[in-house]
Amino acid sequence: MIDSDFGPDPMALLCREVLRERTPALIAEACAWAVGLSDHPHFQRVRGRVVPSGSTLGARAANGQPLGGEEDGRLELGDARPGSFQDALNALGADGVLHAERFDRELVEPFVLDTCVQAAERSRATRTAEWAELLDELGEDGADLVEVVRVGEWEAPLRIDAEHLVLAAIGAVPLVEVEAEGLPLSLVRAAEAVTRAAAPVPAPTGAAADELAGALFLAEAAVRGSGLTLPVPLAQADRLLDVLLAEGLLPEEVPALLSQLPVEPVTAAEVRATLAALGG
């Protein structure tokens, strides 16, 4: 994060301001993310192995039983009310990873990145001189706001703020109530995902169309057969790039293909930034 010699980083403060404005949306998205969590099997660690307890998170929550375990849980999520959303976050998944880790990857990280990008857009539009000075400081041209955010390192502290906001609002609320609150938005998000995934992919145009046609065919087949969520979310950007390169695509071909694939715009921007950093 860029530090000012005369006080707090203005851009960091603006990111926090935008996050506060978006807090209702953050809470709504968190509730929507939680929908279906109570149907997940409950797992516990027995002699170093993750095994099912024979119950679901929802059933245990209804009986007032704790969902998270002391051995694997996060300290900051400890002392959760049994059956609460916070307690569910501290529970293990089948892969031995806490649901809190999934929550961070799938919701908090993309939301915070989008918040920082919105803050950057606001700064560019309303603080022209400061924006130009910031870009000069970062060594960026400002064409890729996601990359500007990455270089500025405003995300990490904002993720902590976002997590605190969610826990303060719904952490102690029973999981079943959080799911009920999030159900309408969850249905909207599911419908949006289906619509985007079913939309026809426009064919590439221009002088390079013929050269890219074969690469596009390989890329489409690789993505749809990869098991990635479609459209591919930001949390799976690295896996997406690995899938494309493993299919034999050249790094220089990938950026031109991203707009033709079922990929979220912020995911495409992240892949392009990664390739740029690698010299691709």
Residue 108 contacts residue 163 (beta carbons within 8 Å):
yes
**What's the distance, CA 5 to chain centroid?**
32
Residue 1 contacts residue 157 (beta carbons within 8 Å):
yes
Residue 30 contacts residue 88 (beta carbons within 8 Å):
no
Quick: pLDDT tens for 44-96.
888 878 888 889 999 999 998 989 876 676 777 778 899 999 999 999 988 88
Quick: pLDDT tens for 13-33.
999 999 999 999 999 999 999
Task: Give the pLDDT confidence score for residue 234 in this predicted structure.
Answer: 80
Angle at 194 between CA 25 and CA 96, to 5 degrees: 70
**What's the distance, CA 34 to chain centroid?**
14
- Residues of the chain scoring pLDDT < 70: 1-7, 70-71, 73, 193-211, 279-280
Around Cβ 211, how many Cβ atoms within 10 Å? Answer: 13
Taking the C-alpha atoms of residue 82 and residue 100, their distance in angstroms, rounded to an integer, is 16
Taking the C-alpha atoms of residue 16 and residue 264, their distance in angstroms, rounded to an integer, is 24
